[in-house]
């Protein structure tokens, strides 16, 4: 790919991502009256990037056996 083609590809990818995000927001606004408070809480957790990064890190550590006993955490 040359520079012009790459820039064009990046621009079209960004536009696609923006369109997808806008459609997702419209769907959420439309469906919000149907969501329970638990559903809303779950969605708020899933869109929290920092929280999701921490969760992924914790799950990877757990897979490697790097876990802390609950009794140590609750001291």
Instruction: Give the pLDDT of the chain (75 residues) as one tens digit per residue.
Output: 567 677 777 778 888 899 998 998 898 889 889 989 999 899 889 889 999 999 999 999 989 989 888 888 887
DSSP 8-state class, residue 71: H
**51-36-42 Cα angle (round to 5):** 10
Total number of domains in the chain: 1
Q: Locate 29 and state its tokens.
A: 């606004």
The domain in which residue 17 lies consists of 3-73
- pTM of this prediction? 0.51
């Amino acid at each position: 790919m040359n520079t012009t083609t790459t820039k064009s590809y990046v621009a079209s990818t960004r536009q696609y991502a923006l369109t997808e995000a806008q459609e997702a927001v419209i769907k959420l606004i439309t469906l919000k009256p149907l969501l329970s408070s638990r559903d809303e809480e779950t969605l708020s957790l899933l869109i929290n990037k920092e929280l999701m990064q921490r969760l992924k890190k914790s799950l990877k550590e757990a897979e490697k056996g790097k876990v802390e006993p609950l009794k140590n955490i609750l001291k």
